[in-house]
Amino acid sequence: MLRKPQAGIGIATVAALGLAACSPAETNGGGEAALDDLGLPDLSGHELEVATPWTGDEQEAFLDMLAAFADATGAEVRHASIGDDLATVLQTRIDGADPPEVAVIPQPGLVEQFARDGALVELPGEARERVAEHYIDLWRDLGTVDGTEYGVYVRASNKSTFWYNTELFDEVGVSPPDTMDELLETARVLADSGIAPLSVGGSDGWVLTDWFENLYLRIAGPEMYDRLGEREVPWTHPTVEETLELLAELFDENFLAGGVSGALQTDFSTSIVNVFGPDPEAATIYEGDFVREVIDVSTDAVLGEQARFFPFPTVEGAEESVVVGGDVAVAFVDDEATRELMAYLATAEAGEIIAAGGVSVSPNHDVPLDTYPDELSRDIAEQLRDVGENVRFDLSDTAPAAFGATPGSGMWAELQDFLSDTGDIEGTMERLESSAARAYGE
């Protein structure tokens, strides 16, 4: 599921039926500098096509990165922006024996599907070495299907950021909480003062799955998180119960902007405007680092001043951890230029160009933090860096789409039902389990 924050009303997501557009990757000035050390070969006369799902700001840094490669090697690199229909378009082009050389895919499940169909080319040795050197295991494992490594993650998003309105925090005199107990106490003080502590875009099911995942990762730990994702642990497990109990405590009628019924009618963009708009109703909004784009576009709040973030609070006794999303590059063609490009994508130099764009986090941990252009993007990247190996990929994005990524079914629907009746923990767990069993085809 591609999550692109949209300005204004969320209908825009429906409108994203854009046609695939091809354009030569242009140099935007930045980044061609230090590639000489990489010893890239001369690839003049080679043509490469790179397909991505991006249509907005997030593609700019990536295009710079491609342009730097094109400049250094002389290869001609074209970029095809496909949008939300990526899966369909790629499948059609694979069937027609005309795939792009490289595609950037936001769903690990899709990589798995293409790999099992035999459409992907294994990463060349040089790229594998670089991934092993520069990335934490998570990214390597995500790019591996049945023991063969296919993908290089080029972009990550930090989904454990809690955004808050500093003016409202100052008005009440509270400071960003570090732990879950502090969060609950802060929420209580805010609610007593007549300010809703939480704005939740419950109309978009994925917002609720992100809430659940962050809490579950902290309560049950990374190991259990993996096992839940791999269906080794049922959704009726006590850790799930504990998570839902905490979620019920947070999704209190007095805590949510507009109450429970208001939250269910609020979409992602509106939930942000609720906090940073001209007449704020709530003090905080939890979601991924892409919240800043909506703040930037849809509100007058200044990022880093009125709008700041704190890491998703930890649960007592748990280590700090982060839920992430990410986009992976995979190759469909086995030729010299493609191999060179894939190996290039795994370099710290390429990661630096992504980081310098300031919109995305580079999953490459050897990208110096000072490459990020401002404090905010540096903090977001640093939070990810600081938790070491305790990074986990968005569970609903790795689950079958029917369970993790379909409006009105699976996790999305069950958690929306749970939001409307937080007392029914038992029933929610049972429905999650049976819906998971169906989606996983058990």
Partner 1 sequence: MRVDGRRHAAHGGDTGTADTGDETGEEAGSQRGGGRRAALFLWPCLVMLTLYIAYPLAYSFGRSLFDSSGETFVGLGNYITAFTDERTLVALRNSLIWVLVAPTLVTSFGLLFAVLTERIRWATAFRLVLFMPMAISLFASGVIFRLVYDTDPELGVANAAVVTVHDMFASASQYPGARPRYEDEMVPARDGDPAGFATAEPAGPGEVVSVPMVGVRPQDAPEQARQAREPEGSPGELRGVVWLDVSGATGRDGMIDPAERGMSGLAVEAVRDGEVVATTTTADDGTFLFGDLPDGAYTIRLPGANFAEPFRGLTWLGPELVTPVIISAWVWIMTGFAMTFIAAGLSAIPREVLEAARVDGAREGQVLRKVTIPLLGPVLIVVFVTLVINVLKIFDLVYVVAPGASQAAANVLAVQMWQVSFGAGGNPGLGSALAVLLFLLVVPAMVFNIRRLRREGPS
Question: Which residues lie near partner 1 (CB under 8 A)?
Answer: 1, 9-11, 14, 88, 171-174, 189, 191-195, 202-205, 254, 261-262, 264-265, 267, 400-402, 405-409, 412-413, 416, 439
Element (H, E) at 322: strand 322-331
Q: In terms of CB distance, is 259 or 368 closer to partner 1?
A: 259
Q: In terms of CB distance, is 193 or 236 closer to partner 1?
A: 193
Residue 335 phi, psi (nearest 5): -140, 175
3-state SS class at 269:
helix
Q: In terms of CB distance, is 209 or 362 closer to partner 1?
A: 209
> In the numeric block, which tokens belong to residue 221?
């730990």
Q: In terms of CB distance, is 304 or 400 closer to partner 1?
A: 400
Q: Minimum CB separation from partner 1 for residue 189, in Å?
A: 6
Q: Minimum CB separation from partner 1 for residue 183, in Å?
A: 14
Q: In terms of CB distance, is 148 or 265 closer to partner 1?
A: 265
Q: In terms of CB distance, is 148 or 261 closer to partner 1?
A: 261
Q: Minimum CB separation from partner 1 for residue 268, in Å?
A: 9
Q: In terms of CB distance, is 106 or 358 closer to partner 1?
A: 106
Q: Minimum CB separation from partner 1 for residue 320, in Å?
A: 25
Q: What letter represents residue 178's amino acid?
A: D
Asked if residues 283 and 275 have their Cβ atoms less than 8 Å apart, the reply is: yes
Element (H, E) at 247: helix 238-250
Q: In terms of CB distance, is 117 or 232 closer to partner 1?
A: 117
**DSSP-assigned letters across all residues of 283-321:** EEEEE-TTHHHHHHHH--PPBTTTEEEEEPPBPTTPPP-
User: What whole-number distance in Å separates Cα of residue 371 and Cα of residue 203?
Assistant: 37
Asked if residues 131 and 27 have their Cβ atoms less than 8 Å apart, the reply is: no
Q: Minimum CB separation from partner 1 for residue 393, in Å?
A: 17
Q: Minimum CB separation from partner 1 for residue 284, in Å?
A: 15
Q: What letter represents residue 88's amino acid?
A: T
DSSP state of 179: B
Q: Minimum CB separation from partner 1 for residue 262, in Å?
A: 8
Asked if residues 285 and 275 have their Cβ atoms less than 8 Å apart, the reply is: yes
User: Going by C-beta distance under 8 Å and a sequence separation of 6 or more, which residues neighbour residue 300?
Assistant: 276, 278
User: Going by C-beta distance under 8 Å and a sequence separation of 6 or more, which residues neighbour residue 98?
Assistant: none
User: What whole-number distance in Å separates Cα of residue 250 and Cα of residue 314?
Assistant: 14
> In the numeric block, which tokens belong to residue 96?
């027609």
Residue 125 phi, psi (nearest 5): -50, -40
Q: In terms of CB distance, is 189 or 318 closer to partner 1?
A: 189
Q: Minimum CB separation from partner 1 for residue 186, in Å?
A: 9
Q: What letter represents residue 163's amino acid?
A: W
Q: Minimum CB separation from partner 1 for residue 279, in Å?
A: 9
Element (H, E) at 79: strand 76-81
